DNA sequence: CTTTCCATTTAGATCGATCTAAAAGCTTTT
DNA sequence: AAAAGCTTTTAGATCGATCTAAATGGAAAG
């Protein structure tokens, strides 16, 4: 029955060392799995750690080693399942690398984002993965870089000089429009909402591109409410234009789900006399009726990519900036059909 | 143009103190907003911090002060929007208290949960909010408590001696059954899935209670698949029993959404000739058709409660164990109707 | 038997804050 | 003028690890 009562009764490396009859330095080497220590010594130290119930004090280590084994993750909003999945991907890779995630929520506000980054710095994170708030100026990220804080942008990108992991939104949009076009649709609307940021602009660009190159009107862009609950009620907006669309591409699946319900309320049959295509391919796409055709963006994978970019940068800070842009995949289900009514051509 | 190039060129409190002509101790007091320092001195030190671009080193502070301003959060799964919302509530309260969240994912596996908690300890978190993995034994949590690590259980509870923030699941279930009963339903099924834990058992208990006390058959409990995509296809399970139900209560909204689709596929009209009621009241409840009647559990609020419990405990570790159990609220929409067909009484 | 070399081990300084207990300046009281 | 009581400031030890540079011991080489 070991007899240890120091005043504060916390087991330190020094206690372990004493018990194993080695110096504190040797014990430290054992923890860090250095190849320098002899096999027999290592075993003795490990035994001592077990016996004493030693807990590594990361805080002390970080102070000396200037390495915290900690990664900051800043997202605009946790309530959105999309970011939650991103976070999940990040967490799994960071965890596997033996580090932990410090989480922060910017609320998509540049001002809060400033505060949050400051806090990250104070906590001494080794690097940060950030989905920049919509109104972030490029100088912001460059300032971080000047701090010497390794940074990775996820989903949205502000600066080209900083690593980025995302999705080829524009190509995804082209794919969506292409699918509708192949079903005979020519008058296609684009339903959007939310703040303006790179991921927003790329989608717009992809949509207009695809429409324009086919000689279709690329300007049928409709803004729907940001509040999920109000989207179904806004379906009528689709038909207030002179040129009534026969199909709609949605900025994301929240809009798609909402409009699908709204169109149903208006008496239209989605997939039969009106076509609708979503973006993100959330789980619900498969369990609503009609099943939602959607462009998959797989945020978990993006998170994994972002985390890997950061880990690479940590091990070599001089790496040139890289971007990992994932391809989308169109998941065809039931919400799109050939153009309805008497054929126009 | 200040001329500072130390070898490592990091601004420390000592540099600030020198610049402001005070001692390191005084500078430290200024940072910590101690009322002891004079107004003029404080201003001078703050000015110096600004000029030098000083960044507080939380790591150093924590080592000495044995306080990390860090809270661990352990959830079984981040992909589930339910836990993401919980996390969001926790984060906002913790952030407002000037602390940060260290995140970990147990994958609902007791073994991983062990590792994760160990890591939390190494990182010196001040406390942990945990939604215990399904197979957690009470000894596990008690061991943590022995470590002297302040703990709060969220959503699920294993030990009665430890703070808990959750929802009155049983009452929510009684409410759901009550609503259906008031519409004339007597043969009501309960569709469940997932691992067994306290939140699961309480729902079962609430259901059986409510059924039994009305003299209805409390045993119509149906297990549906865990995979979201397979739920719609399992709707037929509802009718394989001798006694065919006229309504179903769902364990959560994922099941409700899935069965709603599945029942539609079987040619039933939910809300007209079959009633269905969900649990959780997710955002999608309002944007599917028919709109889903659901029992609201508001996980964000639970997260906030859990965080507040932890903060209280941090400021007074001797507080007796407390439990904050939120009431549910039934959100009536369209998916339930009076019992169909020729009246039975 | 000394010297060289290698593999291990170690003493002591160090990271950047906080804490303790006491000192230094003030007024105010005796 | 000394003592007492404030308020404000400070020196120096301390938290628990890592790092540096040097010491130690044994085997191989001379």
State pLDDT tens for residues B270-293. Answer: 999 999 999 999 999 999 999 999
Mean pLDDT of B25-30: 96
Mean pLDDT of A79-96: 96
For residue A88, the distance in angstroms to the closest alpha carbon of chain B comes to 5
φ/ψ region of A83 (left if φ > 0, alpha if ψ in -120 to 50, else beta) reads: alpha
In this complex, the answer to whether residue A69 has its CB under 7 A from any atom of chain C, a nucleic strand, is no
For residue A152, the distance in angstroms to the closest alpha carbon of chain B comes to 19
CATH code, A13-56: 1.10.260.40
> Where residue A341 falls among pLDDT bands split at 50, 70, 90?
low
Instruction: Say how far apart CA B4 and CA A331 lie, in whole Å.
Output: 59
Residues of chain B with CATH 3.40.50.2300: 70-167+299-326, 169-297
> Which of the residue ranges A138-142, B102-106, B117-121, B269-273 would you say has the lowest mean pLDDT?
A138-142
**To which CATH superfamily is domain A68-167+299-326 assigned?**
Response regulator (3.40.50.2300)
With 60 as the cut, is the pLDDT of residue A343 above it? no
Counting residues of chain B whose pLDDT is more than 90, the rounded percentage is 91
Mean pLDDT of A169-182: 98
Residue of A98, A138, A85 lying closest to A306 (CA atoms)? A85
Binding-face residues of B in 261-280 toward A, CB within 8 A: 261, 264-265
Task: Write the burial class of residue A293 (CB in 10 Å: 0-12 exposed, 13-18 middle, 19+ buried).
Answer: buried
The arrangement of secondary structure in B70-167+299-326, i.e. its CATH architecture, is 3-Layer(aba) Sandwich (3.40)
Tell me which residues from 17 to 56 on chain A have a beta carbon below 7 angstroms from nucleic acid strand C.
Answer: 21-26, 29, 35-38, 40-41
Bridge pairing between strands B294-296 and B329-331: antiparallel
Q: Do A101 and B102 touch (CB under 8 A)?
A: yes
Residue of A68, A17, A24, A67 lying closest to A44 (CA atoms)? A17
Q: What are φ and ψ of residue B23, in 5° steps?
A: -85, 160
Instruction: Say how far apart CA A273 and CA B225 lie, in whole Å.
Output: 33
Mean pLDDT of B323-344: 85
Bridge pairing between strands A247-250 and A151-154: unpaired
Domain A169-296 in this protein, CATH class: alpha beta
CA of B8 to C1' of D20 (A): 16
Mean pLDDT of A301-308: 98
Interface test with A, best of B74, B81, B93, B227 (most A CBs within 10 A): B81
For residue A213, the distance in angstroms to the closest alpha carbon of chain B comes to 34
Distance of CA B219 to the CA centre of its chain: 29
For residue A254, what are the contacts with CB-CB under 8 A and spacing of at least 6? A228, A231, B283
With 70 as the cut, is the pLDDT of residue A7 above it? no
CA of A105 to C1' of D7 (A): 42
Residues of A in Cβ contact (< 8 Å) with B265: 289
With 60 as the cut, is the pLDDT of residue B2 above it? no
CA of B233 to C1' of D13 (A): 70
Instruction: Say how far apart CA B85 and CA B298 lie, in whole Å.
Output: 8
Average pLDDT over chain A reads: 94
Instruction: Say how far apart CA B125 and CA B102 lie, in whole Å.
Output: 8
Residues of chain B with CATH 1.10.260.40: 13-56
Cα dist from A20 to A4, A43, A207, B253, whole Å: 14, 9, 68, 56
Q: Which residue has the tokens 């352990």?
A: B74
CB A32 within 8 A of CB A13: no
**Residue B104 is inside which H or E element, if any?**
strand B100-105
> Where residue B340 falls among pLDDT bands split at 50, 70, 90?
low
Residue of A269, A284, A256, A334 lying closest to B257 (CA atoms)? A284
Cα dist from A45 to A12, A15, A18, A54, B119, whole Å: 13, 11, 9, 11, 20
CB atoms within 10 A of CB A340: 17
Instruction: Say how far apart CA A289 and CA A270 lie, in whole Å.
Output: 9
A230–chain B Cβ distance below 8 A for any pair: no
Instruction: Say how far apart CA B289 and CA B270 lie, in whole Å.
Output: 9
CB B277 within 8 A of CB B342: no
A78–chain B Cβ distance below 8 A for any pair: yes
Instruction: Say how far apart CA A263 and CA A276 lie, in whole Å.
Output: 10
Mean pLDDT of A36-63: 96
Closest partner residue to B289 among A81, A95, A261, by Cβ?
A261
With 50 as the cut, is the pLDDT of residue B4 above it? no
CB A224 within 8 A of CB A237: yes
Residues of A in Cβ contact (< 8 Å) with B58: 122-124
Task: Write the burial class of residue A225 (CB in 10 Å: 0-12 exposed, 13-18 middle, 19+ buried).
Answer: middle
Instruction: Say how far apart CA A252 and CA B123 lie, in whole Å.
Output: 38
With 60 as the cut, is the pLDDT of residue A77 above it? yes
> Where residue A340 falls among pLDDT bands split at 50, 70, 90?
low
Strand, helix or coil for residue B23: coil
With 90 as the cut, is the pLDDT of residue B342 above it? no
Q: Which two tokens mark A37?
A: 């220590």
Instruction: Say how far apart CA A131 and CA A138 lie, in whole Å.
Output: 13
Instruction: Considering only residues A9 and A64, tell me which one the structure prediction assigns the higher pLDDT.
Output: A64
For residue B63, what are the contacts with CB-CB under 8 A and spacing of at least 6? A57, A59, A60, A63
CATH code, B169-297: 3.40.50.2300
Write down the pLDDT at residue B6: 38
Write down the pLDDT at residue B7: 46
Quick one: chain B helix, strand, coil %, rounded to 5? 45, 15, 40
Strand partners of residue B164: B153, B323
Average pLDDT over chain B reads: 93
Closest CA in chain B for residue A300:
B79
Closest CA in chain B for residue A66:
B59
CB B15 within 8 A of CB B58: no
CB B120 within 8 A of CB A69: no
CB B32 within 8 A of CB B61: no
Q: What are φ and ψ of residue A40, in 5° steps?
A: -65, -45
Instruction: Say how far apart CA B87 and CA B59 lie, in whole Å.
Output: 24
CA of A322 to C1' of D13 (A): 48
Residue of A235, A240, A229 lying closest to A265 (CA atoms)? A235
CB A165 within 8 A of CB A194: no
> Where residue B147 falls among pLDDT bands split at 50, 70, 90?
confident
Instruction: Say how far apart CA B213 and CA B108 lie, in whole Å.
Output: 34
Write down the pLDDT at residue A146: 84
State pLDDT tens for residues A92-148. Answer: 999 999 999 999 999 999 999 999 999 999 999 999 999 999 999 989 998 888 888
CB A103 within 8 A of CB A73: yes
Write down the pLDDT at residue A97: 97
């Amino acid at each position: 029955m070991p007899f240890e009562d120091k005043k504060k009764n916390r087991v330190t490396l020094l206690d372990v060392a004493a018990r194993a009859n080695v110096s504190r330095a040797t014990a430290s080497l054992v923890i860090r799995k250095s190849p320098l220590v002899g096999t027999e010594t290592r075993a003795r130290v490990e035994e001592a750690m077990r016996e004493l119930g030693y807990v590594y004090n990361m805080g002390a280590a970080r102070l000396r080693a200037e390495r915290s084994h900690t990664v900051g993750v800043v997202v605009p909003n946790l309530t959105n399942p999309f970011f939650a999945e991103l976070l999940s991907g990040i967490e799994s890779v960071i965890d596997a690398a033996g580090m932990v995630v410090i989480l922060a929520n910017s609320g998509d506000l540049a001002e809060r984002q400033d505060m949050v980054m400051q806090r990250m710095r104070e906590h001494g994170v080794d690097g940060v993965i950030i989905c920049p708030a919509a109104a972030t100026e490029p100088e912001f990220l460059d300032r971080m870089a000047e701090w010497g804080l390794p940074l990775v942008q996820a989903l949205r990108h502000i600066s080209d000089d900083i690593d980025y992991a995302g999705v080829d939104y524009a190509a995804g949009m082209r794919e969506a429009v292409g699918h509708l076009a192949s079903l005979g649709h020519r008058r296609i609307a684009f339903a959007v909402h939310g703040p303006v940021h790179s991921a927003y602009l790329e989608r717009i660009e992809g949509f207009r591109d695809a429409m324009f190159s086919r000689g279709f009107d690329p300007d049928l862009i409709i803004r729907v409410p940001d509040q999920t609950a109000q989207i179904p009620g806004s379906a009528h907006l689709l038909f207030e234009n002179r040129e009534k669309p026969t199909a709609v591409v949605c900025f994301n699946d929240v809009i798609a789900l909402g409009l699908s319900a709204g169109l149903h309320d208006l008496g239209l049959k989605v997939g039969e006399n009106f076509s609708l295509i979503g973006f993100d391919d959330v789980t619900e796409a498969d369990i609503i009726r009609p099943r939602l055709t959607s462009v998959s963006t797989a945020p978990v994978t993006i998170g994994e990519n972002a985390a890997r970019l950061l880990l690479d940068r940590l091990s070599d800070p001089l790496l040139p900036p890289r971007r990992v842009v994932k391809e989308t995949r169109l998941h065809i289900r039931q919400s799109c059909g050939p153009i309805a009514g008497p054929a126009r051509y």
